Amino acid sequence: MENRPEEAEGYEGNKRKKPDLVIEGKMPGRPEYEFEAKRLKKKDFGIGEYLGSKGLGCFVTGKYAARYNEAAMLGYIQSDSPEDWQVEIREKINRKKTILDVMSPPQDVEIISDFPNEWKTMHRREVIERSISIFHILLDFRSKGYPAAPPVL
């Protein structure tokens, strides 16, 4: 599906914000599922981006997925272990629960059994009077000594 920009006050044309990935269903009303993805790499791309105004904050403020009750955050890990990142992100969510309008503590969920680091948080969005459940999925993109991909000819 085309990744259409979100309507937001103060942003017009190509300057409008848009989530990283939108999956459109074929159900009545053509519902969409929006994802925001953030890189996780120590010293370069930390939790601040993941939880900040360009990450989870886009959903909490209603910039993204304003019409929906669910969305997802993808963290693609480039250093440390998925377990380390999961612990660190969950602890930071708990410490910033007021800022992130957290309604309940993070809960483990299983969406895809091959992805062990998944959980859900629920956030109040007072501006649009609709709460949102965010599914967090961490994907392991650390180098594992695989040979380089063959060159594209």
> Domain residue spans in the chain?
13-140
Flag whether pLDDT at 76 surpasses 60. Answer: yes
Q: How far apart are CA 143 and CA 79, in angstroms?
A: 9
71 is written with which tokens?
A: 């969305």
Give SS3 for 61: coil
57 is written with which tokens?
A: 């904050």
Paired strand residues for 74? 37, 137
Range with lowest mean pLDDT among 50-54, 82-86, 121-125, 148-152: 148-152
pLDDT tens digits, one per residue of 28-43: 766 788 999 999 999 8
29 is written with which tokens?
A: 């009303």
Paired strand residues for 70? 133
Write down the pTM of the prediction. 0.80
